[in-house]
Structure formats: C-alpha cells, structure tokens
Amino acid sequence: MLKEECIRKAMELDWPITCLEETDSTNLRLKEIARSGDLRPRMLCAESQTAGRGRLGRSFLSPGESGMYMSLLLPLPKDALPLTIRAAVAVCRAVEEETGKALSIKWVNDLFWQGKKVCGILAEGVGNMAVLGIGLNLRMPKGGFPGVPIAGALETDAERERLMGRVAFHVKRTLDEDGQAVLSFYRQRMFLMEKEITFLQNGQEKTARVLGVDEAGGLVVLCDGKEEILRTGEVSIGSHQFLEYKQPQ
Ligand code: BTN
C-alpha cells in the first residue's frame, strides 16, 4: 500500500493526500471530490487502476507495483502557457532529480525514455479548476503493454512515493513560475523539432515539418508551404525517426 507520509515528506506542501489500493481512475475519483464542493488543491493516488483514462478517449494500462498513478486538483495557470505543458516539464524535472534520467517530450505531453513512451498526462477541467492525471511506467509489467508497441518503462528502483511527492512539488513550482521560463525547458526537451510529422485535419491526413513551439504551447508547423499552429490533438512521427532519436545530454 502507498505510504502517505513518504509522499508528504517529498512533496513539501500541506495539500490533502488520499492513497487508494485500487480504483477505476484517479482522475474520475478526484473529479468526484471536486464536484462535491471541496476545491482545495490536493492529491489522489492509487496502487493500481482498473479503468485508467488516457487522452483522446484511450485507456491507460495501470497494473499494480509497476507504475505510478496520481491526480492533482489544481487552479489553472495565470498566464497563457497551458497546464499540460507545465506538467510535462514538472515530471521531467522530478524524474531527473530522483533517477538521473533525462526524459524527452513529444508534443503535447507524452514523455519518452530511450524511444519509448513511459509517461502520459491527462488534464481535465472541473469548474474553474483542473484535474491533472499523471501515469508513469516505472517497470515493465509481466505481460508488457499489449497492443501498445510504443509503451515502455523507465526501469528504475526509485521509490514511488518519493517520486509522486516530487512530481507534485514540481507541478506546483511550474504553476508559480513564469511561463516563458518553463517553456524554455520544454523547447529543449521537445524532440519533434525539425522532424516530419503527420496529423489529422478535418479527417484528412496531413504531413508537415515542425518549426517550433509558440508562447502558448502550440506546435508551429510548415504544412503545404504555409505556417500553421496546432493547438490540440496528436501528431505522429515515422518509426525510423524514433530510431534516430538521441537522448538529451
Ligand atoms: C495518455 O497518455 O493518454 C494520458 C494517460 C494519463 C494516465 C493517468 S494515470 C493517473 C490518471 N488517472 C487516469 O485515469 N488517467 C491519468
């Protein structure tokens, strides 16, 4: 069972913490708490999830022991840089601090280690607050990640509770930090720069070249000779480009 006192020590915040053995989805449970009227920032985490939710209606495999599943109820950022971008930076900082591993970011907020996705982030609105869910694969589950060839694990013995606490600490820090400072870290870790990507626009597959990330976290691309900014959705990259990908130093 997850130990609340270890999380609290690492978190350095007095936010309420709820640890569950098993739940359907920590995001769903935290939204329920927020809807009951308790809008204080807080953390809810679980040893395992039976219906972990991913972006774009996908599921997120959340077996016990091998991963870290947590949700935070938070106010929205005060400037234009979205919470999802800030959260990606916060997880990178916490993971590096605790394991020495420097993760890379695939826009918007998928985190990669050695060419595999090891962390997913899902932000959902509730009133004028947000529930930020973070799932980090620490070790490969026995059966792997069936049907998700891109998924992998960090392969670390770092203590889960400590990592959760440090992630919460860094999320709070990025919320208090100037968005442009957070963005400069994000741009250094975002590995799609200059790459050719594909994405869906009005049901049509488009190919584009990535030029950068704008001040509000949008992906700036060159598509059909014109500059465009993607604000939501997902982009894909050919698998050969994952092989070419280099770990940040
Ligand atoms: C994605 O990669 O599509 C986002 C995955 C987010 C998973 C986390 S695990 C904790 C929280 N609870 C959920 O149901 N989902 C998020």
Q: How many residues does the chain have?
A: 249
- Given the CA of residue 109, which atom of ligand 1 is nearest to it? 2
Question: What local confidence, expressed as pLDDT, does residue 44 receive?
Answer: 98
For residue 69, give both structure tokens: 């599943």
Q: Is the pLDDT of residue 99 over 90?
A: yes
Q: Is the pLDDT of residue 240 over 50?
A: no
Q: Which residues, 6 or more positions from 237, have their beta carbon under 8 angstroms from its beta carbon? A: 106, 192, 195, 196, 197, 198
Mean pLDDT of the chain: 94
Q: Is the pLDDT of residue 204 over 80?
A: yes
- What is the whole-number distance in angstroms between the Cα of residue 118 and the centre of ligand 1? 12
At 7-18, the pLDDT tens digits run 999 999 999 999
23 vs 52: CA distance, rounded Å: 9
SS3 assignment, position 60: coil
SS3 assignment, position 214: coil
Average pLDDT over residues 160-170: 98
Question: What local confidence, expressed as pLDDT, does residue 120 receive?
Answer: 98
Element (H, E) at 119: strand 116-126
28-37, 63-72, 149-158, 230-239: least confidently modelled range: 230-239
The residue to mutate among 23, 43, 53, 111, having the most atoms of ligand 1 within 8 angstroms of its beta carbon, is 53
Percent of the chain with pLDDT over 70: 95
96 vs 108: CA distance, rounded Å: 19
Dihedrals φ, ψ of 201, to 5°? -135, 120
Question: What local confidence, expressed as pLDDT, does residue 249 receive?
Answer: 44
- What is the whole-number distance in angstroms between the Cα of residue 5 and the centre of ligand 1? 24
- Given the CA of residue 27, which atom of ligand 1 is nearest to it? 12
The residue to mutate among 20, 30, 58, 62, having the most atoms of ligand 1 within 8 angstroms of its beta carbon, is 62
Q: Is the pLDDT of residue 242 over 60?
A: no
- What is the whole-number distance in angstroms between the Cα of residue 51 and the centre of ligand 1? 10
Question: What local confidence, expressed as pLDDT, does residue 210 receive?
Answer: 98
Q: Is the pLDDT of residue 241 over 80?
A: no
203 vs 54: CA distance, rounded Å: 21
- What is the whole-number distance in angstroms between the Cα of residue 12 and the centre of ligand 1? 24
- What is the whole-number distance in angstroms between the Cα of residue 58 and the centre of ligand 1? 9
Residue located nearest, by CA, to atom 7 of ligand 1: 135
Average pLDDT over residues 159-174: 98
At 80-94, the pLDDT tens digits run 999 999 999 999 999
* Residue of 246 and 238 predicted with greater confidence: 238
Q: Is the pLDDT of residue 248 over 80?
A: no
Question: What local confidence, expressed as pLDDT, does residue 239 receive?
Answer: 52
Query: Using a 6 Å CB cutoff, which residues line ligand 1?
Result: 25-27, 49, 52-55, 58, 60, 62, 69-71, 110, 120-122, 133-135
